[in-house]
Structure 1
Amino acid sequence: MEGISVPGIGSGLDINGLVTQLVAVERAPAQQQIDSQRARALSTISALGKLNSALDAVKNTFSAVSDGSAFNRRSATSADTAVLTATASSAAVAGRYAVEVTALATSHKLSSGAFASADSSVGTGSLTITVDSAVSVLNIDASGQSLAAIRDAINAAPDNPGVDASIVTGTDGAHLILNARNSGAAGAISLTASGGDGGLAALTYVDGGPSNGLTQITAAQNAQVTIDGIAVASAGNRIVDAIEGVTLDLLSATPGSPIEVRVARDTAAAASAIGSFVSSYNALVKTSLELASFNATTGSAGPLLGDSTLRAVRSDLSRALATRDGGTSLESLSAIGVRVALDGSLSVDSTVLTQALDNNQESVATLVSADGALGKALNTVFDRFLGSDGTLVSRSASLNAAQRALDRQQQQLDLRIDATEARLRAQFSALDSLLAGLQSTSTFLSQQLAGTANSNA
């Protein structure tokens, strides 16, 4: 069995300590260089990521302005929202309309007479339920003739024509209630009975019939509206496109009292879109100033101080924003109240912008459109820096490649240091063995000399 080897035990040298210190001295310069380069690369990658995100936000908010959708929106307002509310799509045409709600759409509802309980027998035979052109025939036998069983049969019928059945129990007994699922005249329910013991006659109803077993609680009725004197009917209380591009939601009937509905351009949507673009641009300016900052007191600098890419983004955007478009009566952003401050940020004069949108919305839309001079200039900048082969993408790719190269350098350094440590340990182990041998020889000679001296005495 091999003995246990403890470096330095023979010579008394601290071999482990010596090797560790020498290895640390050998590693330090190269390791510091790798760590410093890695830290700079990571800091730059992070900074470029922030710049990319801020510029992408500017691109997205400008797209929301330049695609024209914000300028195609319309608003619809009702003079009395307790009677009706209105919304408008981009297809709506500006105008004022007098809308009179003479009747709301209602769903047909029927009720049976009172039975002692839900378990009371009604009768046997065939019960035919009709709604518009849909028909369901239920065959009721003695085992399923209770009020509750008939309710369940109606609800479970695979060809149910659009009727929900329930039971309401009052002081006088249990009533079968039938509700049409759809409102309007077309949802009217009719029920007829045939065969059996005749008891199902208590559940029959035909509009205008002389001997109905069911009582009408609510009639099946269409909504009735007049728009500028033109009659409009609807099965539901939502009327779509009677006024082109406008949806009316009816809430109450007020015969003889027209309500004004006004459709107008929604300038607030366009103003909001332009405001969002300005806000995102100012966020980019703030981010770029932070990334290129320098604190004279502490000497600390932003990760992109003096960076050519950051300077190019700022300068290219500034030139694009200054673009003038001679093809429209509003030639520049300043004409609609968007102005550049000394620090490069933008501000909006809401009064000027509102006037431009109220008086000349088409020209505002043309100025900021993707096909206009301003839009083309800005999109060129976005493509240059944010495109698949843009500057920010290529810079990040280059830095990531540098990171991989540093990983390889680290691996090579680790291998070299491991080899150096192994060599030093071998050398010091050999020295330890040599010194141990010399000490052993010295001890032997000393003992021999001492013995000789004693024998001569």
Structure 2
Amino acid sequence: MSSLYAVGSGLDIPTLVSQLVTADRTPAENRINTQGKAATAQLSALGTIKSAMSNLQSSLSGLSTALTTPAFKPTVASDAGFTASTTSSAAAGSYDIEVISLAKGNKLTSSAFASDELVGSGSLQLSFGDSHLEVTVAADMTLSSLAREINRVAGGKGVTASVITSDTGQHLVLNAVGTGSNGAVTLSSSGNGRLAELSWDGSTGGMTENIAASDAQVRIDGQLRTNTSNTFTDLVEGATITLTKTTVGTTGNLSIAADNSGAKTSMQAFVSVYNATLNALKSASSYNADTKTASALTGDSMVRGLQNQLRSIMGNNNVSDLKALGVSVGKDGTLSFDASSFEKGMAEQPAMAARVLGKDGSIASSLDSLLKSNLDTGTGVLVQRTNSLNKQISKLEKDLDDLDVRMEKNYERYTKQFTAMDTLVAQMQNTSNYLTTQLANLSSSSSKK
């Protein structure tokens, strides 16, 4: 570095060059950084707005679904002998149900075999419902190996086999997988050994029916209904009723009523998210008069337009309908929610909620269109604005890189220029020193004469 210091001029060339480069850099760098800071702030503010509106879109979808799809709640006493659940196709009503019998699958047990006794060779034919299985019985099979083979062939459908051990020996046990008379297990055999004992035709055979197959029976409002399963899916439209115990001579009540709890929760959530969206727009475009500080999007026409459109959709001719649903619109455009008024409105005018905020409701349709026009990944205003800012920031970053390259070249150019100047000054100084010396010598020679 010392070699760059001027010999002839006495200038500190590195420092001077650095100062000149800094003077060249500062205006452009400040301009780029200022633009970058503003663009980054706008991008952050747009991200907040976009997030808020995405949340509003999700909340609106949930609310519209809740208001368009009716919900019902079944009420059943704990000792009624059945449980119930409902779908949106149910209707309010009350039903008295007596559980006469439960559906059961049959169970068959063979006579006793010794633990290592061979069953015989041949085949077993098992039937349940409309299905039939054939199990090959090898000559070396015991009851345990036969049970495993039955389970392998059946694959868990229709029948399961197991072996129990009593005081008299081992017994093959067959359990029907399904319930009701249609799923009862029967079997026959062909072969030698004791295979003939493994039979049951539904009434007689070599096996004992410990539990007979039976259908479920209920009496609903005095009407008898039989079912092969303990679960009734069409006993009451829109309700699934599962029997748990018999209640012969006693009825249990099933009461189905409209359930607005989910819709109420969704409405409360929508109001909160809507207000959060308005606050996000306000915060991004506010101006602090006391500190004279503007926000990232102060005066932005897009933000003002969104604020006005949201307030217009929730205002205008919709105020009275919203109020009937417990939603009030404040002077600043924010919403407030009264749960009691909502429940009252749903009870008195259940169809109005869907008409206003359901999937095809007047407010929901307008609000959904506004949100889609701003959030669509291809054409959304917010998305395009965000993409534009990202491109601007990328260009500013490239401008800084280009500025660095230019300043490096400026540094080299200034250094060469000042070094050349210093060399010239040194040469001139050497010439001056030479001439001064020659003149001094000449003057000395003259004086001696």
For the aligned pair, the TM-score class normalised by the smaller chain equals: 0.7 to 0.9
Q: Paired residue for 2:206, among 212, 225, 233? A: 212
The equivalent position to 1:53 in structure 2, one of 48, 51, 56, is 51
Give the secondary-structure state (helix, strand or coil) at the position aligned to 1:77: strand
Contact 1:10-1:432 within 8 A present in 2 as well: yes
For 1:413, the equivalent position in structure 2 comes to: 403
Shift in alpha-carbon separation, 1:139–1:370, aligned structure 2, 3 A: closer
CA distance in 1, matches of 2:155, 2:283: 69
- Residue-pair matches, total: 439
Identify if the C-alpha distance between structure 1 residues 237 and 23 changes in structure 2 by more than 3 Å, giving closer, same or farther: farther
After superposition, where does 1:368-383 map in structure 2 within 5 Å? 368-369=357-358, 371-383=360-372
User: CA distance change for structure 1 residues 32 and 77 in 2, over 3 Å: closer, same or farther?
Assistant: same
Q: State how far apart, in whole Å, the 1-side matches of 2:389 and 2:26 are.
A: 24
Q: Are positions 1:252 and 2:245 aligned together? A: yes
**SS of aligned partner of 2:276:** helix
- The offset of 1:50, in angstroms, is 1.3
Select which of 271, 280, 287 maps to 1:287: 280
Instruction: Write the mapping of 1:223-372 to structure 2, written as runs, cut at 5 A.
Output: 223-293=216-286, 301-324=294-317, 331-369=320-358, 371-372=360-361
Range with greater deviation from structure 2 (119-128 or 188-197): 119-128
Structure 1 residue 67, shift from structure 2 partner: 5.3
- SS of equivalent residue, structure 1 residue 151: helix
Give the CA deviation at 1:345: 2.2
Q: Establish whether residue 424 from structure 1 lines up as the match of residue 411 from structure 2.
A: no
| Distance in 2 separating the partners of 1:31 and 1:76 | 70
Alignment-derived partner of residue 37 in structure 2: 39
Asked if structure 1 preserves the Cα contact closer than 8 Å seen for 2:157 and 2:177, the reply is no
Matched with 1:139 is: 136
Name the CA distance, whole Å, in 1 between partners of 2:394 and 2:258: 56
Match of 1:176 among 172, 175, 195: 172
- Cα distance per residue 1:88-139 (max 9 Å; x no partner): 222222211112222222233223344443x432222322212223222223
| Cα distance in 1, alignment partners of residues 167 and 43 from structure 2 | 78
Q: CA deviation at 1:259?
A: 1.4
**Aligned-partner Cα distance in 2 for 1:445–1:142:** 133
Aligned to 2:22: 24
| Residue aligned with 2:201, SS | coil
- For the residue of structure 2 that corresponds to 1:123, the secondary structure is coil
**1:324–1:172 distance in 2 versus 1, CA, 3 Å:** farther
Alpha-carbon separation, structure 1, partners of 2:254 and 2:22: 83
In structure 2, C-alpha distance between the alignment counterparts of 1:291 and 1:153, rounded to whole Å: 73
**SS of corresponding position for 2:351:** helix
Q: Is 2:392 the counterpart of 1:392?
A: no
TM-score by length of 1: 0.83
Aligned pair 1:130/2:130, yes or no?
no
* Structure 2 unmatched runs, 5+: 440-449
Shift of the 9–22 alpha-carbon distance from structure 1 to 2, 3 Å rule, reads closer
CA distance in 1: counterparts of 2:40 and 2:156, whole angstroms: 67
CA-CA distance at 1:437 after TM superposition: 6.8
CA contact (8 A) 1:7 1:432 kept: no
Does the CA-based 8 Å contact 1:383-1:390 persist in structure 2? yes
Partner SS for 1:63:
helix
Any gaps of 5 or more consecutive residues in structure 1? Answer: 450-457
Q: Compute the displacement of 1:46 (Å).
A: 1.6
Rounded to whole Å, the distance in 2 between the matches of 1:424 and 1:56 is 55
Change in CA separation of 1:105 and 1:9 when aligned onto 2, cut-off 3 Å:
same
Q: CA deviation at 1:440?
A: 8.7
**Would the alpha carbon gap of residues 9 and 112 (structure 1) be closer, same or farther in structure 2, given more than 3 Å must change?**
farther
Larger deviation, residues 162-171 vs 288-297: 288-297
1:331 positional shift = 4.3
Q: Structure 1 residues 436 and 233 mapped into 2: Cα distance closer, same or farther (>3 Å)?
A: farther
Find the counterpart in structure 2 of residue 455 from structure 1: none
Q: Is the alpha carbon distance of 1:448 and 1:172 closer, same or farther for their aligned partners in structure 2, counting shifts above 3 Å?
A: farther
Q: Structure 1: which amino acid aligns with 2:303? A: L
CA distance in 2, matches of 1:84, 1:443: 121
CA separation of 1:414 and 1:229: change in aligned 2, threshold 3 A: same
Task: After TM superposition, give the deviation of residue 146 of structure 1 in Å.
Answer: 1.1
Q: Which residue of 1 aligns with 2:101?
A: 103
User: 1: distance between equivalents of 2:152 and 2:269?
Assistant: 54
Q: Distance in 2 between matches of 1:398 and 1:190?
A: 75
Matches of 1:128 and 1:298 in 2, distance apart? 92
Structure 1 residue 195 displacement after superposition: 2.3
- Whole-Å separation in 2 of the counterparts to 1:448 and 1:189: 136
Cα distance in 2, alignment partners of residues 176 and 290 from structure 1? 77
Structure-2-length-normalised TM-score: 0.84
Return the alpha-carbon distance in structure 1 between the equivalents of residues 155 and 324 of structure 2.
65
| Distance change in 2, residues 1:190/1:315 (3 Å) | same
Q: Is the 8 A contact 2:65 2:358 kept in 1?
A: yes
Instruction: Kindly state the Cα deviation for residue 372 of structure 1 after the two structures are TM-superposed.
Output: 4.8
Deviates more, 1:268-277 or 1:9-18: 9-18
What secondary structure sits across from 2:235 in the alignment? coil
Measure the CA separation in 2 of the matches of 1:88 and 1:316: 40
Q: Report the residue type matching 2:176 in the other structure.
A: A
Task: State how far apart, in whole Å, the 1-side matches of 2:432 and 2:177 are.
Answer: 114
